[in-house]
A = this chain, B = another copy of it.
Amino acid sequence: MQTPWEYRYAHRTQKMGSSVIRELLKFTEQPDIISFAGGLPAPEVFPVKEFQEACNQVLTDHGAQALQYSTTEGYLPLREMIARHNTRYSVRVTAENIMITSGSQQALDFIGRLFINRGDYIVVESPTYLGALQAWNAYGAQYISVPSDENGMIMDKLEEALRIGPKFIYILPNFQNPSGSTLSLERRKRLVLLADQYGVPIVEDDPYGQLRYDGDHIPSVATLDSRYRNDNDGEYTGSVIYLSTFSKLLAPGLRLAWVIAPPQVIRKLVMTKQAADLHTSSFNQHVAYEVAKGGFLDEHVKVIRATYKERRDVMIEMMEEMFPTGVSWTKPLGGMFLWGVLPENVDAAEVLKVAVERKVAFVPGGSFHPNGGGKNTMRLNFSFSNPDNIREGIERLGVTLKEALKNGEKVGGG
């Protein structure tokens, strides 16, 4: 007889669903659609030649090591390089503070596995990164949504949330996914103080930190935490778990990211990873190290910044021209996304259905709100499409929105 599989699945899978974003990514496979839906880097900036040279070099010099099993924490020279870079860019750390993961999504999953008991509360921004919610739903998390504005999470509201007793605070301070907002320096300092006052750790997710197009770099929350503690020698031992990635600086297809945390947390994460997948591809770690070791990324990130800044500016210019009154949007200082707000009576998911017929796609904002709301919001990616496609896509979307707002008014006025 057939196995009735649906009765074999564990309880934790009941909330599991395929993400709206992933389902939408299927649209991007149609060649004639212009997609602002995904979060893809521009393929034009992938350093293909450098990868070719690095693959050859790694296989010639370290073939046996790069193709073999390796340690769970990651390739030591790569971890040491990240430590040097991070000490320069963010908080002072050593290789003992670092574990390599297969993308930041895996780091989020491991953090969930390590910390979340069923029913635990996690403080998140509203809206927040959907991938984190997907990772933590599997562990039975509940969410406390703290409202945000263009300067990030609102700290008075955070203090109320902290009195609920959350397991940790999750925050994406630079050019947030999805809203594009950046947490101000003043709020970062207050965040560190409040987290310390209530004894609640912080998970700081920083995939886009180096992709700033305007204004000055703001120190990471981990850096401010370290300064607050006068914890400036050697290993970092503060309250922040910091995530970053090579996906936006080199290429997401490598699946290479890293966690920075106090050494005792890293040791627990290493045990978690050992049971989950033994280690991240040793070959990819060798190749990334080979590409990056001579300072290549410092130059390469300038190319990425120039490319994405132009695309952001083209998108905003076109939105000003094409979008109807009643629609507003953020002007992010960096990153890959901007955030649109429609009139309250317009459902972005309904707009999407029409938009897709007109061969343009975006992500409706509702799914970024774990506790509901945000149905009239939308996320637009500006890194993937070239300027011509951005112009054409925003024009298509403008027509769609004008229509939707006209219909919405009818509904609202009927």
Residues on A lying within 8 angstroms of B by beta carbon are 1-3, 5-6, 8-13, 16-19, 22, 25, 38-41, 43-44, 46, 48, 51-52, 55-56, 59-60, 63-72, 101-103, 105-106, 109, 113-117, 120, 131, 134-135, 137-139, 167-168, 196, 199, 201, 237-239, 247, 251-255, 262, 264-265, 268, 270-272, 274-284
* Residues on the B chain within 8 Å of A138, using CB: 113, 272, 275
- Taking A17-B271, A41-B68, A48-B59 as known contacts, 18 extra A-B pairs with beta carbons closer than 8 A to each other, sorted by chain A number, are A1-B196, A6-B264, A8-B115, A13-B268, A19-B274, A25-B71, A39-B69, A40-B69, A48-B67, A68-B251, A101-B277, A102-B102, A106-B276, A134-B274, A134-B275, A135-B275, A255-B281, A281-B281
Query: Beyond A56-B55, A251-B68, A283-B254, is A275–B46 a contact (Cβ under 8 Å)?
Result: no
Candidates B71, B252, B265; contact of A68 at CB < 8 Å:
B252
Candidates B10, B69, B103, B139; contact of A116 at CB < 8 Å:
B10
Query: Do B67 and A254 touch across chains, with their CB atoms under 8 A apart?
Result: yes
A68 to B138, CA, bound (A): 26
Query: Do B67 and A59 touch across chains, with their CB atoms under 8 A apart?
Result: no
Ranked 6 nearest A-B pairs via Cβ: A67-B251, A43-B64, A55-B55, A253-B282, A48-B63, A67-B253
Q: Which of A67, A71, A237 has the most CB of B within 10 A?
A: A67
* Residues on the B chain within 8 Å of A19, using CB: 274
Query: Do B272 and A16 touch across chains, with their CB atoms under 8 A apart?
Result: yes
5 residue pairs bridging A and B, Cβ less than 8 Å apart: A3-B238, A10-B113, A13-B272, A46-B64, A46-B68
Query: Beyond A46-B63, A51-B59, A67-B48, is A13–B114 a contact (Cβ under 8 Å)?
Result: yes
Query: Do A278 and B103 touch across chains, with their CB atoms under 8 A apart?
Result: yes
* Residues on the B chain within 8 Å of A43, using CB: 63-65, 67-68
Query: Do A103 and B277 touch across chains, with their CB atoms under 8 A apart?
Result: yes
* Residues on the B chain within 8 Å of A264, using CB: 5-6
What is the distance, in angstroms, from A264's C-beta to the closest C-beta of chain B?
Answer: 6
* Residues on the B chain within 8 Å of A67, using CB: 43, 46, 48, 51, 251-254
* Residues on the B chain within 8 Å of A64, using CB: 43-44, 46, 48
What is the distance, in angstroms, from A193's C-beta to the closest C-beta of chain B?
Answer: 12
Query: Do A271 and B16 touch across chains, with their CB atoms under 8 A apart?
Result: yes
